[in-house]
Amino acid sequence: MPLANTRSTYGSVAKSFHWLTALLILTLVPLGIYANDLPYDTSEALARKAFFFSMHKTLGVTVFFVALARIVWAVSQPKPALLHPDRKLESLAAETVHWLLYGSLLLVPLSGWIHHASTEGFAPIWWPFGQSLPFIPKSQALAATTAGLHIVFERVLIISILLHLAGALKHHLIDKDATLRRMLPGRVDVSPPVSAHRVALPVGAAVTLWAAALAVGAMLGIYAPKDRPQTAAALEAVQSDWQVQEGTLSITVSQMGSDVTGSFADWTASISFDETVTDGPAGQVDVTISIGSLTLGSVTREAMGTDFFNAEAFPTANFTADILRSAEGYAAQGILTIKDQSLPVTLPFTLDLVDGVAQMQGSATLDRRNFNVGNGQTDEGSLGFSVDVNVMVTAAKAE
């Protein structure tokens, strides 16, 4: 059997690409559904879920490159002529479905890949080239959009496959022609009529169908970020001798060997501070954090669950501390309360004071197990025990 196509038959390379792609897709789709439905309430369950998602993502990247190679090969080869060019509507439908298949085989894995690169945490791709993509930022908005696009393109792909299969069976069982046999192993000698394949009309029809699918996805709200399982506690403004102008409160945890960083969008700080103190107590700070305002990459919803922060039962955390100054610098030393656990914590920090504006930056490392966070995750390889807390605050002295 020749490697290249002819005007009447497909070569062995085209056939190999066709059936390899079919095998990968028939593996990927059920694998993704299975992985999505798996629980993640224990270390073993999370590891199992991550394993199957990593397999799904890795095969998805494989499909992208296989499909790209298949398309490059297809456009470089003569395309076997249609066996029934006189059936114009049927031929248009078949060629439109072919373009939908080609495009979707690229769009489905590419949208999933961008979603993976734009979010943090969970189920890495198994390859040595990293988890990021050039020009793709870490962005929850982008992650939500590409997750929706992945769903829409996947549905178009599945429908296209079903139509493609139905057409092949129709040719084989009803028309009893060589359409299906031309793609099976072995050589099939046919003498189709000479006919030119149309391009502009089928491509235009395929683009129109993709646009319609995207519009339906927009009407269904598929591209919007998923709602949190509960509403974040709204915090009231607090009186403070030093008013926070801007700042970030972030945490970083290791998951599956990769660092995942998230931040709390809503927190308040009541600060009293005497900048003239050179040694000893220099003030106090009282910080309240809205737990539900945390964004933690792809595992945000999981972090709010009962085995983790349990934000529904414990909507806020609190850190009340004395500000101490010594020869080594500054530290906030006090009690941190998360869930139903209150423990002593020391947060060393640096402080720059210029014209009544203080810029503070500090960090500390906590053990999540001390606060009953993720008790079911007992394997540090799945979810690290240490959590790095980083704080940056700019505050101005109240007039």
Q: Where are the domains of the chain?
A: 12-219, 242-397
Tokens read off for 221: 């709200």
Instruction: Collect the ranges in the chain with pLDDT lower than 70.
Output: 1, 189-197, 227-231
Q: Residue 147 and residue 133: Cα distance in Å, rounded? A: 16
Residues 204-231: tens digit of each pLDDT: 999 999 999 999 999 999 998 875 555 6
CATH level 3 topology of 12-219: Fumarate Reductase Cytochrome B subunit (1.20.950)
Q: What one-character DSSP code corresponds to residue 171?
A: I
How many Å apart are CA 267 and CA 322, to the nearest integer? 18
The reply to whether 12-219 and 242-397 are identical in fold is no
Question: Could you tell me the two tokens for 302?
Answer: 């999981």
pLDDT at 224: 87
Q: Specify the pTM.
A: 0.81
What single-letter DSSP state applies at residue 172?
I
Q: What is the dihedral of CA 179, 184, 185, 188, to 10 degrees?
A: -10
Question: Is CATH 2.40.128.110 correct for 242-397?
Answer: yes
DSSP state of 184: S
Residue appearing with tokens 């290249």 = 4
- pLDDT value of position 230: 56
Tokens 């914590």 — which residue?
Answer: 345
Give the number of other CB atoms < 10 A from CB of residue 121: 23
Q: Nearest Cα to 153, choosing from 96, 209, 203, 98?
A: 209
Cβ atoms 171, 190 nearer than 8 A: no
Closest-CA residue to 148 (of 211, 208, 226): 226
What is the predicted pLDDT for the residue at 376? 86
Residues 85 and 82: their CA atoms lie apart, in Å, by 6
Q: According to the model, what pLDDT value does residue 196 have?
A: 61
